[in-house]
């Protein structure tokens, strides 16, 4: 889109984008919201538990059909495969590993041989949620947790959990115990309704920012570039990279808040504090992503449930191989779950490398300066001598600016001006190399410099 003066932008683009985008978004999600509300009311009825689980599975299948049509069969087949694998592996001690291999084999076969790329990419999010649920259930059962009242979950419970309408489309991942608590039917309340409406409102706001504001942040709203010569400058390329990253971030926040809304409407996300029920499900924390302390902070707050899943079932399992191997293994597992996309794998593996180097460097700096400059905030009783001094804040701010620089670089791959056909099929190797070459591979060079500095400080 050509650059517009701010007044013309406000007069032409906003009315032509905000209303159609909001209308289209609501038109897509209102049937899912109704299915989640129906599941919530069903769980409140005095029905047998098996009927409630069957109703949840049926609602999830209807939601899948609404979004994917006949292609929803592939998600249903994955759910059935995971339930069958769990049933056949009851006598084994490694059910989590069996389910992980079954789900990963199905995802790889589906993407490589069974379904065309565009169709498979549309279902990738739903496939990932089902696979995560199945793997977590298997590992929990191996550890002696996660079963139903009788110890082992029934097939109806497993299918209801995997296909629950509150999470089967957009997520979030939730442990099996949280699903069982939702089926028990926490009481309807004004707090529950407020939480669902608030999350839905924030989801629509993030959708509008991603679609109507972020792509034009520096060309129209804050016109820092626009002339053809300036657009070719290094400065303009970095501004465009930040716009692309910001638009991608808010599209993720849209999905995160929408998943909060659907899960809450279906009855998930409640917790007890001091014997009081609180609807406090959080999937993402946008401020900690856009104003990060560190890349580790970004990774954790980007998707809280998925971060918890990766830490519990991948990182902790691989930690015996060493911290570096566990970190790379965690990001490799995330890349495989997201599908065989070169640019996603490049982003996630680069993110893992950046996060690890940042962790090592900040750990060395914290030891040398005896200050609270670690990747994650220190607890109140930490032994560091310098906790909140002005220079400590300045150092944390500078390292946070480096994290923002890395985010812009990584987000440049999610270009808003890329062809829709290319975006649907997934960006290839040549596209990834071209976009990062335009930014002179700056983030990777900075990461190398940080690693050398960390080694010198040893």
For the annotated catalytic residues, the residue numbers are 338
Residue 127 contacts residue 135 (beta carbons within 8 Å): no
C-alpha closest to that of 25 among 255, 300, 296, 239: 255
Please give the Cα distance from 108 to 111 (Å, whole number). Answer: 5
User: 301-306 contacts: CB < 8 A, separation 24 or more?
Assistant: 302/252, 303/171, 303/172, 303/252, 303/256, 304/172, 305/171, 305/172, 305/173, 305/174, 306/132, 306/171, 306/172, 306/173, 306/334
Residue 339 contacts residue 111 (beta carbons within 8 Å): yes
Q: Work out whether the CA dihedral 218, 223, 229, 233 comes out positive or negative.
A: negative
Please give the Cα distance from 38 to 179 (Å, whole number). Answer: 15
Please give the Cα distance from 43 to 391 (Å, whole number). Answer: 55
Please give the Cα distance from 40 to 169 (Å, whole number). Answer: 17
Cβ-count burial 127-166 (b if 16+ within 10 Å, e if not): bbbbbbbbbbbbbbbbeeebbbeeeebbebbbbbbbbbbb
Here the tokens at position 282 are 């959080």
CA distances in angstroms from 402 to 18, 344, 405, 408, 435, listed in the order given: 33, 21, 5, 10, 19
C-alpha closest to that of 403 among 346, 452, 362: 362
Rama region for 267: left / alpha / beta (φ>0; ψ in -120 to 50; rest): left
């Amino acid at each position: 889109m050509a650059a517009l003066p701010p007044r013309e932008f406000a007069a032409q683009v906003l009315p032509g984008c905000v209303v159609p985008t909001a209308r289209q978004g609501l038109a897509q999600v209102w049937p899912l919201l109704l299915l989640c509300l129906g599941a919530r009311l069903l769980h409140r009825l005095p029905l047998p538990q098996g009927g409630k689980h069957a109703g949840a599975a049926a609602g999830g299948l209807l939601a899948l059909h609404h979004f994917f049509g006949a292609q929803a069969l592939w998600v249903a087949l994955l759910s059935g495969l995971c339930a069958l694998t769990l049933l056949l592996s009851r006598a084994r001690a490694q059910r989590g590993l069996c389910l992980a291999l079954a789900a990963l084999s199905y995802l790889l076969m589906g993407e490589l041989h069974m379904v065309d790329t565009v169709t498979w990419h549309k279902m990738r999010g739903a496939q990932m949620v089902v696979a995560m649920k199945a793997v977590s259930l298997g590992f929990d059962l191996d550890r002696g947790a996660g079963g139903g009242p009788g110890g082992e979950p029934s097939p109806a419970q497993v299918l209801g959990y995997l296909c629950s309408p509150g999470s089967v489309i957009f997520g979030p991942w939730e442990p099996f115990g949280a699903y069982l608590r939702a089926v028990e039917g926490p009481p309807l309340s004004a707090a529950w309704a407020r939480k669902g409406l608030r999350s839905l409102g924030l989801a629509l706001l993030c959708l509008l920012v991603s679609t109507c504001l972020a792509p034009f942040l520096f060309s129209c709203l804050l016109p820092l570039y626009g002339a053809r010569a300036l657009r070719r400058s290094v400065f303009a390329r970095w501004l465009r990279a930040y716009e692309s990253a910001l638009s991608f971030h808010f599209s993720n926040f849209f999905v995160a808040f929408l998943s909060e809304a659907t899960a809450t409407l279906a009855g998930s996300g409640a917790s007890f504090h001091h014997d009081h029920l609180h609807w406090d499900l959080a999937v993402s924390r946008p401020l900690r992503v856009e104003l990060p302390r560190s890349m580790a902070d970004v990774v954790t707050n980007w998707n809280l449930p998925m971060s918890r899943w990766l830490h519990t079932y991948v990182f902790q399992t691989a930690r015996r191989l060493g911290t570096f191997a566990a970190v790379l293994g965690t990001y490799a597992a995330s890349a495989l779950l997201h599908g065989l996309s070169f640019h996603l794998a490049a982003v996630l593996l680069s993110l893992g490398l950046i996060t690890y180097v940042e962790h090592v460097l900040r750990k060395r700096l914290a030891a040398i300066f005896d200050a609270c400059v670690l990747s994650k905030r220190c607890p109140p009783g930490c032994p560091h001598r310098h906790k909140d001094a002005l220079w400590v804040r300045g150092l944390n701010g500078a390292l946070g600016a480096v994290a923002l620089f890395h985010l812009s670089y990584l987000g440049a791959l999610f270009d808003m001006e890329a062809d829709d056909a290319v975006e649907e099929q997934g960006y290839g190797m040549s596209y990834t190399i071209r976009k990062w070459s335009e930014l002179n591979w700056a983030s990777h060079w900075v990461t190398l410099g940080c690693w050398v500095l960390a080694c010198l400080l040893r």
